[in-house]
Every structure is written in C-alpha cells, then in structure tokens.
C-alpha cells in the first residue's frame, strides 16, 4: 500500500475532526495539511454559502470565477476542499484530497513521500489560508 511506502496517510473517515470555533456543524481535520472543511451533511445550504464566499476571495482558474473543489462524503460529514486547478467534472478518488491514482507499478515504485506531497501541493491550497473565516 502507498501509505505504508510514503508514511502516514490521511483517511477521511479515520481522521480526528474538531469543531470549528463558533460554528456548529463545521469541522476540520487538525492533522490534514491542506485547506478543507467538513460540513454536517444535514445542512447543504451552509456548504453552498461557503462556496459562494470563497468565490470572491480565492483566485480561480475558471472563466466564470468559480472555485474548483472536491466534495467527498464520509461518515463524519461532507469534506469540501478547494483546488488551485480545475479538477474536471468527473471526480474520482484519485482527485480527492489525500488520494491520487498511480497508473503503473513503475510509477508506484518511484513514488516517495516528497513526490506525493508535491502532487498535493500543486492541486490544493495550504491549510493556512484559513477557510474558517468564510463560513
């Protein structure tokens, strides 16, 4: 498994989550390095509000100014992670935060923790941008 090869992996459902201060139903994974929020699935309006707010604050690679993002549903809620690049309309687990597709054994054998982190840094914002201020 890649996580055994490159170090600690962050599985969304296995991760510790903490409530964002002054916001019920919104959480973060404190050990995850990239910008994200986890929303309670019972309040999709809060997710839409958040996505509208970040549209005016982050740089968009899209013509309409929208911010590309991934949505991943798990037992802890819905993970939302804005991306720096257009991730396309068809999302697969290889594009979700913390996951990517390695097409061949040769590519897998060459993968290191550093190359995995570089892949992620090219696609996702650092957690330090403080998404909590947009909810």
Run of H or E residues at 49: helix 44-55
- Average pLDDT of span 34-59: 90
Chain centroid to CA 15: 13
**pLDDT recorded at residue 92:** 47
Domain limits at 78? 2-134
Number of domains in the chain: 1
The values of phi and psi at residue 88, to 5°, are 85, 170
- Rounded mean pLDDT, 110-120: 86
pLDDT score of 83 more than 70? yes
Other beta carbons within 10 Å of 79: 25
Task: Say whether pLDDT at 62 is over 60.
Answer: yes
What's the mean per-residue pLDDT of the chain?
A: 80
């Amino acid at each position: 498994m890649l996580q055994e090869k490159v170090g600690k992996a962050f599985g969304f459902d296995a991760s510790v989550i903490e409530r964002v201060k002054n916001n019920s139903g919104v959480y973060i994974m404190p050990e995850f390095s990239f910008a994200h929020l986890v929303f309670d699935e019972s309040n999709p309006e809060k997710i839409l509000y958040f996505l509208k707010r970040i549209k005016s604050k982050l740089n968009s690679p899209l013509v309409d100014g929208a911010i590309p993002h991934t949505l991943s549903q798990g037992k802890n809620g819905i993970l939302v992670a804005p991306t720096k690049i257009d991730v396309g309309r068809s999302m697969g687990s290889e594009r979700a935060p913390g996951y990517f597709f390695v097409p061949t054994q040769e590519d897998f054998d060459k993968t290191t923790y550093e190359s995995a982190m570089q892949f992620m840094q090219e696609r996702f914002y650092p957690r330090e941008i403080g998404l909590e201020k947009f909810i």
